[in-house]
Structure 1
C-alpha cells in the first residue's frame, strides 16, 4: 500500500512540476519576445492547393536560385521525397548559392542526419529551431516553430500549410489526397518573410546573420493588398476575435483541428446569435490521436446555434483559412486550435484583395461539396469509446 501512495505522490509532483514549468516558461518567453507588426503591402499572390504543384514550383525556384535559399519547415520527413528535397539543397550549396535550412527540432527529428551533414559539408547551413531548453524543459518541448517560410533570392516567398514529405504529395495511402493551401508571393512583402526567417534563424543558432542589403533588394509593387502577422502564443486569439467581432454576414473557417479557446468560442456563438452565417470545414479522418474527439464539444455548441459544419471526405483536410464577409481572408500556418493560439510560432497572411478572395471562395465551395454536413444527431449518438476519448481529449486539449 505504501508503494501505491508513493507512486501517486510522485505522479502529483510530476504534474505539478509540469504545470509550473509551463506557466513560468510561457511567461518568460513572452516577456522576452517583443511583437512585430508589418504594414499592409502590395504584391502578387498565387494560391496553391495541391502538393505536387507546390513542390514543382518550389523545386524549380530553388534550382534557379542565384544568391540565397532560405527555407523554414516544421517537418521534413525521412522518405525519398524529402531526400530529393535535401539533395537539391546540397546541389545548390555546391554551386555556391547560400543555403540555409531551418527545421523544428521535434517536428523534424527524423530528418536524415547524413544528408544534413552533406548540406553542411557542401557549404550550406542547417539549424534546428526550438530545441529542448532549461530551465523550462516542459514548456520548450511543447512550443514548436510551426511556420513554413521559403524565400528564394530575396525575391520569391512561400508560406502556408505544407511540410516536406511524401504524404504532402499524395503518396500516403492513408491520408491521400492531401488538401492544403499554400501561397507563392512576389512583391515588397517578401521582405517581411525574409525578416521573419532571419529572426527565427538567429534565435536558433550561435552564428547569427546580419540583415544584409543582399537579402533586401528593391522589389516591385504588385496589385494585391495583404499583410503578414507573426504570432508566438499571444496575439492570435486577439486577432481572430477581432475578425469574428467585425463579421456582419458570414464567417468561413477551414482547419484540420478545431479546438478554440473559450474566448473565441464565445465570439463565434455571439456571431451566430446576431445572425452571422458560420461555416466550418474539418477533416473526416484524423491524423493524430484525440484531435477529432476534442472538437466535438465545441462543434455541438455551435451547431446548436445554427453553424454549418462540414467533414471533408476527399482525403485529409489540412488547410488553415478564415474568410469574413468575403472581404478579408486569413491564410497561413496557424490551426484553429489552442496549440497555435497559446504556444506555437505561427505566421498568417491577411489578404484584402477582392478578386483573390473570390478565387479562394471558389476553392472553399469545392471543398464543401466534397464534404459531409455533420448533424447534431451524429454528435449526440457517438459510441461509448468516442465518449471516453472526448473525456481524455478535454483533459489535454491545450497540447493536442
Structure 2
C-alpha cells in the first residue's frame, strides 16, 4: 500500500490559482517558434528568455533579431536573456575548436543601438558537473514553458526537428515568481556576467564566486507568498531544485508514490536514478498501470549514424538502450500483462527531447528534468506542476499524450531491443572496454 503521508506532502505544496483555459498546448516545434516570435513582437512590459543555449544559426538569429526589434520599438521593455555560462563559450561537441555563441552575442551588441543583455549563468565550476537547465521564459504575464533550447532543430527552422513539449501559461503570479527568481537569486550573483559585452572574466577566476552561487541556489525557491495550498481548485505550482535531495526531485518521487491507477513518464535518456526506479517498482506492485515514452536510440540527440566516424559521445544512446533492456527484462511479467508499457518514439531522422510526468487524472508535470542522476544531483532544474483536482483539464491533457504517442510503437519483449553484439564495431569495442574498467557507472551519473 502507498504510504499515507504522501498525499499530505503534495497537498502542502503552495501554488497559484488558475484554470485549464489559462494553459495553451502548442502541438509542434514550428508552432512554438512562430508563437515565441509573435509573443516577443507583442510584448509591452517584459521579456525574460531562459534557455540552456541560444545558438548562432538561422533560428537563433531570428529570435535575437526579434528581441532587438522589440526593444527598439519599445525602449522601456525589460529584456533579459539567460543562458548557461559554459555552453555559450564553447563550440558544438565534435565540431572542433570554435569561438562559441558568446562571440556572436558580442558582435550583435555592437550592431544595435539598443541593448539585449545576455547573461551567462554558471551553476558549477565545470560544465561536466552542472549546467543551467531552467526552463520557462516570461513574456508579459505569460510563462512560455518548454524543454527546448533555441536553435534550428529545437525550433524546426529547417528540415529537421527535435520533439519537445510546449505550453503557454497565462498567470501573472506565476510569471512574477519566475521573474523574481532571476532578479533576486541569479542576476545579483558575482558569478553571473554578461556575455554580450567584450572580455567577460575567465571561468577560472570565478571559481570561488561560482561555489558561493551554487550554495545560494540550494537555498533558493520560487516566491509563492501569493500561492495557496490544496483547496480543491486548479493550481499551477512552480518548483526549483539543485543538488541531492532537492525539493523538485522529492516532488517527482512523491508524485510517483501518490499515483493510484495510471502513471505516464517520458524521458529522452533512459537512465533513471535508483530512487525513481524504486518508486516505479512499488507502483507496479500496487497495481498501477505505467506507460513510459522514450526515444529510440536513433532518435537520441547524441546518436551518430554507424557509417560516420565513431566518437565517444555516440556510445550514450547505446548505454541508455542497455539500461532499458535490463529494466524490461526485470519487469517482463508486467509488460506481458500490459501493466507496464514501453513506447519507443521514432520519426525519420528527427530527434526526441520529451520530459514529464502524468499522475492519475490529477497531476501533470511540465519540466526540463530528464529523470536521470544528473538532473537529480548536478544541474539547476525547475518545473511547473499542474494540480487539477476537478478534472477540468482532462481533454487537452489527453490530447497531448495522444500527440506524443503518435510516432511510437510498443515494445512487447526485452529481446526486441538490440544487444551489444549487434551494435556498430566502434560502439561495441568502446562499451566492452569501459565495462571492464567500471567506467559505466560514472557515465550513467554525469550524462
Where on the TM-score scale, by shorter chain, does this alignment land: which range?
A: 0.7 to 0.9
Distance of 2:106 and 2:395 partners within structure 1: 42
Give the structure 2 partner of residue 22 of structure 1: none
Give the structure 1 partner of residue 414 of structure 2: 376
Give the structure 2 partner of residue 98 of structure 1: 78
DSSP-derived class of the 1:167 partner: coil
Unaligned runs of 5+ in 1: 1-36, 208-217
* 1:178 pairs with one of 162, 169, 186: 162
- Post-superposition shift, 1:309? 1.0
- Post-superposition shift, 1:361? 2.3
DSSP-derived class of the 2:238 partner: strand
- Post-superposition shift, 1:141? 4.4
Q: 1:201 to 1:50 in 2, by over 3 A?
A: farther
8 A Cα contact 1:49 1:179, kept in partner: no
8 A Cα contact 1:90 1:119, kept in partner: no
DSSP-derived class of the 2:62 partner: helix
- Post-superposition shift, 1:333? 1.4
| CA RMSD, 1 decimal | 2.8
Give the structure 2 partner of residue 111 of structure 1: 101
Distance of 2:130 and 2:360 partners within structure 1: 33
Give the structure 2 partner of residue 399 of structure 1: 446
Give the structure 1 partner of residue 154 of structure 2: 168
Distance of 1:103 and 1:48 partners within structure 2: 23
Matches within 5 A, 1:1-400: 38-43=14-19, 44-95=22-73, 96=75, 97-109=77-89, 110-111=100-101, 113-119=103-109, 122-130=114-122, 137-138=125-126, 141-153=128-140, 155-171=141-157, 173=159, 176-187=160-171, 188-198=173-183, 199-203=185-189, 204-205=191-192, 224-233=234-243, 234-284=246-296, 285-288=299-302, 289=313, 290-295=315-320, 296-302=322-328, 304-305=330-331, 306=334, 307-314=340-347, 315-353=350-388, 354-374=391-411, 375-379=413-417, 381-383=419-421, 385=423, 389=431, 391=435, 393-400=440-447
TM-score (norm 1): 0.77
- Post-superposition shift, 1:224? 4.3
TM-score (norm 2): 0.70
Unaligned runs of 5+ in 2: 1-12, 90-99, 195-225, 227-232, 303-312, 335-339
- Post-superposition shift, 1:228? 0.9
- Post-superposition shift, 1:328? 0.7
DSSP-derived class of the 1:189 partner: helix
Distance of 1:50 and 1:383 partners within structure 2: 37
Distance of 1:193 and 1:323 partners within structure 2: 23
- Paired residue total: 344
Deviations 1:192-223 (A, max 9, x none): 2222332233335369xxxxxxxxxx9xxxx8
Distance of 1:162 and 1:247 partners within structure 2: 27
- Post-superposition shift, 1:64? 1.7
- Post-superposition shift, 1:364? 1.6
DSSP-derived class of the 2:138 partner: strand
Higher mean displacement: 287-296 or 310-319: 287-296
- Post-superposition shift, 1:103? 0.9
Distance of 1:367 and 1:206 partners within structure 2: 38
- Post-superposition shift, 1:172? 5.6
